[in-house]
Amino acid sequence: MNILNKACNYEFLDCGSTRRLERIGDKIFIRQAPQADFKPLFPELWKTAHFSYDKDASPVWSGSSEGAPIPDFQYRTLKMEMRLSENGQIGIYPEQKDNWDWLYDHLSADRSPQRIFNGFAYTGASSLVCASAAAQAEVCHLDASKSAVNWARVNREKSGLPEDAVRFIVDDISVFLEREKRRGNSYSGMILDPPAFGRAKGGKTWILKRDLPKLMNLCKDVLDDDPRFFLLSCHDPEFSKQDLAGLTASVLGVGESDIETLDLTLPSEKGNPMPNGIAARWYKC
């Protein structure tokens, strides 16, 4: 994805041998990519990386610029802090940029008040996009990880958004939505990017194939009678775009043909592209 421009300072360069090569600002990163089980196209370019991740090494991050500052990820007016996490994550899912553009374009053109829920919200990119684009929005950002939510708070501050722009919640998504249902609270728009598998406190697990249908029923219960939008993405190969379209259509009470689906692929100008999930989305015309 060559989007190294005024709107975004990220560029996807290449992938292969179960790794990816990407640039943020003036720094190049090598990270894991299990789905890239083929040869990279530009092996020489990989030698220029500043930071490289290897889960079997100690420390797991190394590079020619150890100790060098890590640039913030920038999208439009937003800034998000990048960190070298022990699990290989850096704080952003760049394959979601197409969805950020979609959210920004629709919300900036839609002048109606919005109550937006973002679940599995991680470090907050989609939450911040909504808060910055919508004319009148209450944005609820939820993640089960306290550290991820604290990171999202940092990103809100870095992006120059006011404290009340986003409501941050640390909770289990199903527990929270059940509570919202009992309170009679509802949302005009919902964003979900659930993992294939996850663990929470108390030994509770999240398994996408088992738990997503139940979660979608909860979403239906807390959606406005006249919703504005719905966005669902996932990264589990057991789910197809048709599966996501069907689930989304059932929540909204519309036909599957009304749901837009897309591949979340990171294209490269000269290297291999990398598939990284799928999405289904709908915005009221």
pLDDT per residue as tens digits for the range 44-85: 999 999 999 999 999 999 975 556 789 999 999 999 999 999
Residue 22 CB-density burial (10 A; 0-12 exposed, 13-18 middle, 19+ buried): buried
Question: What is the per-residue pLDDT for 6?
Answer: 58
- Over the stretch 206-264, which tens digit does the pLDDT of each residue have? 999 999 999 999 999 999 999 999 999 999 999 999 999 999 999 999 999 999 999 99
Q: How far apart are CA 66 and CA 145, in angstroms?
A: 28
The domains located in the chain, with CATH, are 2-80 (2.60.40.1180), 94-283 (3.40.50.150)
The closest of 35, 29, 70 to 49, measured between CA atoms, is 29
* Higher pLDDT, residue 256 or 198: 256
Half-sphere exposure of 91 (CA within 13 A, CB side): 25
Contacts of 66 (CB under 8 A, 6+ apart): none
**What is the structure's pLDDT at 196?**
93
Nearest to 90 by CA among 73, 67, 66, 65: 73
pLDDT(1) > 50: no
Distance CA 215, CA 198 (A): 14
- Residue ranges of alpha helices (H) inside the chain are 43-46, 97-109, 125-133, 146-158, 173-183, 208-222, 241-252
The pLDDT score that the predictor gives to residue 66 is: 57
**pTM (2 d.p.):** 0.95
Nearby residues of 179 by Cβ (< 8 Å), 6 or more positions away? none
Residue 5 is predicted with a pLDDT of: 54
Compute the distance between CA of residue 71 and CA of residue 81 in angstroms, rounded to an integer. 8
